[in-house]
Every structure is written in structure tokens, then in C-alpha cells.
Structure 1
Amino acid sequence: MMGPVLAACLLIILSTAWISQANGATCKKDGGVCTCNDNTKSVDCSSKGLTAIPSNIPVETTELRLNFNSLSKLSPTAFHSLTSLTLLSLDGNQLPTLPKDVFDQLVELDELYLYQNQLTSLPSGIFDKLTKLTDLRLNTNKLQSLPEGVFDKLTQLKTLQMTSNQLRRVPEGAFDYLSSLSLVTLNDNPWDCSCRDILYLSNWIREKKGTVSNIEAAECDGGTKAVLDVTEEEAAEDCVYPNTTPAIPTTIITTLASSNDDDIPELPVQQENFQKFLGYQEPDHLPTQPQCLMSISGYLGLMMSLVLTSAAILYVIHFLKKA
């Protein structure tokens, strides 16, 4: 009877190995690219040259560091399974945009680092589910504007860093709900102090001076004076800030309107735009070279596990028939 017992044990071992291979490998100890700490439940994937987020990050992870990689975009569901995260570091990447719902499941998040990217705007409601957030870093991006109410749900926020962007104004009431704020960095932005819109920021800075650190450092474009010193007389203009969509030159519109169909020149279509017109889209996650190697080894291991498992099953059946 030892034959069937040994075979059953072998079957259990092989099944465990099969499941492990099927789940893939993220941590170095399992052949992956990231460093994982089981005690702190942290995963460190920083400075790995990643162009996509590694798959199968443990769902119980509380700290995830993806900083200083080559991430240029995120899948809308990139973090939806990581509901225990308290820290997410995406700084030092090449992100130009963020999907609207990408952070919606991170209800325990305390720290979010997005600095040193290429962000030009933020989706409306991007931070609405992050009600426990205390530290938000958006500095050293290319933000040109903020959506209405973008910070309204962040009542626990203590640190907000927006240094070195392209902000000229903030929406009326942008900071009204940040009752816990103790540090804000607004300097090195081209604040437009000639427009009436700047008066909200100027009055808010003046009101919070002495209770919020570094708040006085915001200066008007050109460094002529501090934003908090702007008067209503100086900010007298009702400015309208144009959107970033490039306008079609008037000369082209006039020419096209006055020409016959046969006279209209054929305009070249860029290959990238043509692909988008046909419905072609780049995949959200392009595998990195280490991930490709991990995938190949994973599939080979899986096939080997299947073969050995099949053999073990036949072995058990053979001894059961003899018994």
C-alpha cells in the first residue's frame, strides 16, 4: 500500500507547484523582478526599467513602490485588486495622463506619490475615493489646470505638494475642504496675478498664513510679488483661459470654404492618427523583457507540471487497481 500513498503525496506536491507556476512570479525569491517583504507586506519594484506594472502583485500588499521606472500609462484597473494599499509610489515615471477610476478601490490609501511625471491635467473626481489620504505629491509635473472640486473629499490631507507645474490659477473653493492641511507647496508656478481668478488663492493664502507651512512662497509669474500681496485693483481683469486644443488657422478654413471639391488638396494623415481612426489601440500593459522571460518559464513549468501530474494520476490508478 506504500505505492499509492507515495503517489498521492507526489500528486499534492505537483499540484502545489502547478498553482504556483500558474500564479506567476512577482517577487525575486520566486524568480520575479521585485523585492517583497512578507513581514511589512511591501513590494518594491523601483528602478527596474518597467514599462508595465508586474502582474500578480500579492493582494495583501500594503506598500507598493513603482517609482523611477518607464511607466507611460496605466490600465484603469491596474490597482483594483490591491485594496489594502496604504502607500503607492509612482514618482519618477513618464505618466502623461491618469485613468479616471484608477485609484477608486484604494480606500485605505494614506500616501500617494505622483511627482516627477509628465501630467498635464487630472481627471475630474480622480481622488474622490481616497478619503484617508494624508500625503499627496503632484510636484514637478506639467499641470496646467485643476478640475473643479478635485480636492473636496481629501479632508484628512496634511501635505499637498504642487511645486514646479504650469498652474496659473486654481478653481474657486479648490482648498476649502482641506481642513487638516499643515504643509502646501505652490511655488514655481506661473500664477497669473493680473486676472480676478487669482483673488481666491491670494485670500486663502492670507487666511492660512501662520498655520500652513510654506504657503507664502507662491509668487506671481515673473517673481514680481507674492500671490498673497495681490490686491483687487491689480487683479482687475476677467480673464478667460483658452483650452489646450489647437485651433485651425483661419486661412485654412477660408481656403477650404471657398474652394471647389476638386481643388481641395489631399491632406496627409499621420500614421498614428490613422491607426486610431481604424480603432487600433496600444495595449494597456506591454510586457517588459524580464516579464517575457518570466512568462515563458512559467508556461514551460506549467506544461511540465501537467505532464508529471498526469503521470502521477495514472500511477495512483494503476496501484488502486492492483490493490
Structure 2
Amino acid sequence: MYLLLLLHILQSSLWAVHCCPALCACAYGNNGIAELRLVQCSDPGISAVPINVPADTVKLRLEKTLISRLPRAAFYNLSELRFLWLTYNSITSIHPSSFVNLKALRELRLDGNLLTAFPWEGLRDMPRLQTLGLHNNRLSSLPAHAALFLPNITYLDLSSNRCVHLLKKRVTSVLFNTGVHDNPWLCDCQISMLVSLSMSLGSPVVLMDQLVMCSRSLGHSGMLLTEAQLSRCMRPSVQPAATRVISPLGSNVILRCDATGYPTPTLTWIKTSASAVMQESPRVGVRWSVISLNGLSYKDAGEYRCQARNMAGISEAPIKLKVVGVTRISRLPKKKKSKKTSPKSSPKDSKPKQTIAATPTLSIKDSQILQNNTPTVFPIDKYTKRSKMNQTDQDTSRLT
């Protein structure tokens, strides 16, 4: 009984390897060394990825079907797959883990579907992928984080999509051949970077169609991208109002920075100690930014960085804020201050200092003499003057 069960399992596994899925056609091709399994499924009645595709399949074509989504691990058993064509179906969504275990895949084509987004992080499961076809979908852009997953891509076809903005320079620099025609490109300095890069000698970027048109550019609509006079992107530059600010405890302070660059950079304030964004640019197109700190405390002290960012790069400037405390010292009057003695001085030492500073002491006799010699001044009126004249007459009569 055990042997029969084992035999049934072996037959099932062999059938899974060598059988062909329903509504599909299977064949073997020869690459000069060994025969390769080719599977093609093009029946309009197919609405899901077949689950019984032979494990030794090297090329799988699912074309013109009603498949609308790719689920998680949709091709997990096809570890030998090298070519996967999913063209002209109705695919609207792809799970980020749809391509798990496709370590041998070299070419992935998704032309003619209804994709508005592509899971770029899913490319990590295809380390040998070189060709990625996304022609004739509904993609609106190629995000910057895609650069992290495109190191081995040598051909990327984004033609006939709805792309308006292109990727940054660091993303385009990892591509060799890029199809970007038939998109409503906004011809600005961002896409001019790609054109300049493609026209430079020895550039790794090649525009597959030189007749790329500007469709949404002010003053350049309908012009060839290679002929449009586009402004060049300029990396931001930040200039703070002051690099060092010292302010007392409890006061209010305003930090300001100005930035230049093209396109107009966005401004962000970051406190170094907290490593957190404190305030972003108040509105689009603003070339300056301020941050207000009211009622300063010691926690507000530290380094603040004003960061400017645009598609051409990032620049920042530090501003150091120092918070100082205010101490009030009460001043005593000079007389009281002179009488103060230091703790180390003895009473004996203080007496001579007081004697020298005081008025010299007079004896009783000297004081009486001083009083007798001091003239007394009274107000002189008519009565006093008449009495003095009478007294003088009396003295004169006595003498005679």
C-alpha cells in the first residue's frame, strides 16, 4: 500500500513537470546545447495565471487573455524561467511579491496592459533581469526610488504611457537604453538633464527615439525635445541670516534662511539633536523660510539646519543658537560698602582705617577757640543799626 502511494506521488510530480496546461501550447526549442521548454497561453478565456505550468519552462508567454492581476508568488515554481511575456492582457495590479523565486529571469515584458503603477521593489526578486518592457500602459512617472532596483537593467521601455515628469539624474544614470517617446512630457529642466546626458560622449543613456515631443510645456509644446531651449536645473544654495545667535533665557528669537536654485527649492528646518523636521516651506515657490522660537528655554539651544531641496540636489546651512541666563546683582551704597570688612580682617585692623577716613578729633579748648573766632552773621535791619550808633556815642563820651 505504501509503495502504491509513493508511486502515485511520483506520477503526479512527473505529470506536473511534463504536462501542458489547458488552453495552452507547449513545445521544445533548441538553443544549440539543450532543449528548452516553451509555453504559450493566448486563449481569451484564460482569466488567471495557470498553476500547472511545467517546472522546467524557460519561456512563458501569457498574451491576449483576461488576466487582470498578478497575485503573490504567481510564478514560484518556475525557477528556471528566463523569459516572461505578459503582453496585451488586462493587468491592472501586480503584487510586490509576484516575481518571487525568478532568479534566472532575464526579460520581463508587460506591454499593452492597464498598469498605473509598477512595484519597483519587486525587481529585487529578479537579480538577473536586463530587459523591462512597460510600453503602452498608463504610468504617469518613474519614481526616484526606482533607482535602487535598476542596477542591472540595460533596456527600459516607457514609451506610449502618460509620463509627464521624468526621473532624476541619479536614476537615469543607471539606464543604458530608454524608450520615452509618445508621452505627454513636461519639458522642463528635469527632462533636459536626460537629454544632455544622452547626447554626451560615452553616455550610458540612449534615447531610443530622437523624435520625442514636448506636449505640456509653456512655449515648447509641439517642439522636439532635442530642439527645445530648456533651462538647466541649478542645485540649491542656502544663505542663513546669521550663523550664530545668542539670546537670553525667556526671550523670543526668529531664525531665517534664504535659498536660490532652479526649480525653486523646498525649504525644511531640522534640529540636529532631535533629527526631526520642525517646519517645512510655507507654500510652493517660496525662496525663504523663518522659524519662530518664543519663550526660549535651555532645551531650545543647539544647532538648527535649514535644508533646501530640488530635483538637482540638496543643500543646507547650520545655525547655532545659544541660550544664556540673566542674573541680577543687587548693588549696595558706597558708604555701606566701605564699612564692610572682609571675613579675614580683625577688629584691630579695621580701627586705623576708620580713623584715617574720619575727620581729625579736636580738643575742648580748640573747639572753644574755633567757636569764638567764628563770626556770627545776623540780618541787619534799621533797629540794629541805630542801637550800634548809640553804643558808639556812649563809648566816645566816656573817653572824653
Q: TM range, normalised to the smaller chain?
A: 0.5 to 0.7
| Cα gap change, 1:70 to 1:26, in 2 (>3 Å) | farther
Alignment of 1:22-41 (within 5 A): 27=20, 32-38=22-28, 39-41=35-37
Does 2:40 align with 1:44? Answer: yes
1:219 Cα offset (Å): 2.1
- Residue equivalent to 1:115: 111
- Residue equivalent to 2:182: 188
Unaligned runs of 5+ in 1: 1-6, 241-323
Return the structure number with greater relative CO, CA threshold 8 A, min gap 6. 1
1:13 Cα offset (Å): 11
Point out the structure with the larger helix share.
Answer: 1
Does 2:171 align with 1:174? Answer: yes
Alignment of 1:1-323 (within 5 A): 15=8, 19=12, 27=20, 32-38=22-28, 39-172=35-168, 173-178=170-175, 181=176, 183-193=177-187, 195-207=188-200, 212=206, 214-221=208-215, 222-227=221-226, 229-232=228-231, 238=264
1:163 Cα offset (Å): 0.9
Task: Name the CA distance, whole Å, in 2 between partners of 1:208 and 1:103.
Answer: 36
RMSD, matched Cα: 3.6
Is the Cα contact below 8 Å between 1:209 and 1:216 reproduced in 2? no
Is the Cα contact below 8 Å between 1:126 and 1:150 reproduced in 2? no
* Higher radius of gyration, 1 or 2: 2
Aligned residue pair count: 226
Secondary structure of 2:178 counterpart: strand
Is the Cα contact below 8 Å between 2:18 and 2:54 reproduced in 1? no
| Cα gap change, 1:204 to 1:229, in 2 (>3 Å) | farther
CA deviation vs aligned residue, 1:200-245 (integer Å, no higher than 9, x gap): 32332333788736252322114223157442179965599xxxxx
Unaligned runs of 5+ in 2: 29-34, 216-220, 235-261, 267-400
1:191 Cα offset (Å): 0.9
Is the Cα contact below 8 Å between 1:129 and 1:153 reproduced in 2? no
Is the Cα contact below 8 Å between 2:27 and 2:39 reproduced in 1? yes
| Cα gap change, 1:59 to 1:223, in 2 (>3 Å) | same
Secondary structure of 2:197 counterpart: helix
Point out the structure with the larger strand share.
Answer: 2
Is the Cα contact below 8 Å between 1:73 and 1:98 reproduced in 2? yes
Is the Cα contact below 8 Å between 2:20 and 2:52 reproduced in 1? no
1:92 Cα offset (Å): 0.4
CA deviation vs aligned residue, 1:158-183 (integer Å, no higher than 9, x gap): 322111001111221222222xx2x4
1:134 Cα offset (Å): 2.3
% same residue = 27
Is the Cα contact below 8 Å between 2:88 and 2:111 reproduced in 1? yes
1:80 Cα offset (Å): 1.9
Task: Name the CA distance, whole Å, in 2 between partners of 1:25 and 1:33.
Answer: 15
